[in-house]
Amino acid sequence: MTASVFAHDLEALPAAPGETSVARETQPADSPRNAPYAGLLLAFTMLLLGLATLMTSKILLVKDDGAGDAPHRALAAEPKSAEQKFNVDFSQNRSLSSAAWSEPWHEGACPDTMSWANFKLQCDGCKALVKHQSYGSTCDGYCKGQGLQCLGAWEEVNNDCETKGWFQCSEPIWGTSDAICECTYPCSQTGNACTESKCCGDAADSCFETAFGTAVCMPSCTPGVDGTCRQPFLQPLGQARQTWMWPDIACVVGAGQALVKPDVFRSKYNSDCTRFCQEGAGKTVAVAGDDFYKLWKSVDRPGAETEEQVCPGAEDASRRGVKCSCSFPDRL
């Protein structure tokens, strides 16, 4: 028997003595008197569903952008050294530097070692275990035989990539049929593009970024005149000094080396490279509120701070300054 039928039967029963028929009245479930309560209940339910949907979307958004656990990630991933700190920032940089290295740093551009003649085993970077005897037992001879240049040579331990002795590229490695040779594409010469070779053949040159995606071997570079003057293929610790950002400089001459404009060097930095390294270079590179700049120091030889010189390779003699070389601790 359904509830509606049961209610109908109760209404059909005669009233007991002393009772009125009103006392035995029942209202059907869909009575107009209950309609307002049902509407309120429905509205309240919809409100709860809306709030739940809103909270869910916010949670998903936090998960997507990672903001919710950013403090925990930052703490867990806090760099232990200047090189690690640089690598964190470096991986987010979308300039030429950002695509420079997808593997541990090495000098120059690596060819495919699998295509080398007398190849035995791939090692780190541009290194490989090779049979070098037919090339004068030198890695220099072997690399040149592949149309490449040699950067390093080692004797292996037991037909593997473990080394037990380092040799000059032109030095013969006797008493063994194989050696570990590090070969790269030939480095670029002064004035030539180094975007592909990632190195310069002249030790006085650096591979400077002149425009987005373009780099040229030059002895010096003036930011804003010759280009950005970044050094995208430099060893990470050298890049961490961010020499191209230093203030009051006439030109960048190398990793952590720049010529500071003479007048500013005397008036603002009291002819002191250490002061420039901290108050100038260090503060410019440092993160806002970070006192790490106080650990920067000059690595110039005593007495060299008063010598003025023209930017190497510059045709304009007015581009001159006092050379300051700045560095900082690798690890605290």
pTM above 0.85, yes or no: no
Tokens of 293: 């700049």
Q: Collapsing DSSP states into helix, strand and coil, what is residue 79? A: coil
Q: Say if residue 330's pLDDT is above 80.
A: no
The chain-wide mean pLDDT, for the chain, equals 78
pLDDT class for 66, splitting at 50, 70, 90? very low
Q: Say if residue 22's pLDDT is above 80.
A: no
Q: Say if residue 281's pLDDT is above 80.
A: yes
Q: Say if residue 90's pLDDT is above 70.
A: no
Tell me the mean pLDDT in the region 231-244.
91
With 0-12 CB in 10 A as exposed, 13-18 as middle and 19+ as buried, what is 207?
buried
* Start-end of H helices in the chain: 3-12, 35-65, 70-76, 82-90, 139-145, 236-240, 262-267, 273-275, 283-285
Q: What confidence score (pLDDT) does residue 332 get?
A: 45
Tokens of 276: 């420039």
Least confident segment among 18-22, 239-243, 323-327: 18-22
Tell me the mean pLDDT in the region 306-315.
90
Asked whether the beta carbons of 286 and 292 are under 8 A apart, the reply is yes
Q: Say if residue 306's pLDDT is above 90.
A: no
Tell me the mean pLDDT in the region 59-75.
38
Q: How would DSSP label each residue in 261-286?
A: PHHHHHHTTTT-HHHIIIIIIIHHHS
Q: What confidence score (pLDDT) does residue 224 get?
A: 95
Tell me the mean pLDDT in the region 228-252.
94
How many C-beta neighbours within 10 Å does residue 282 have? 22
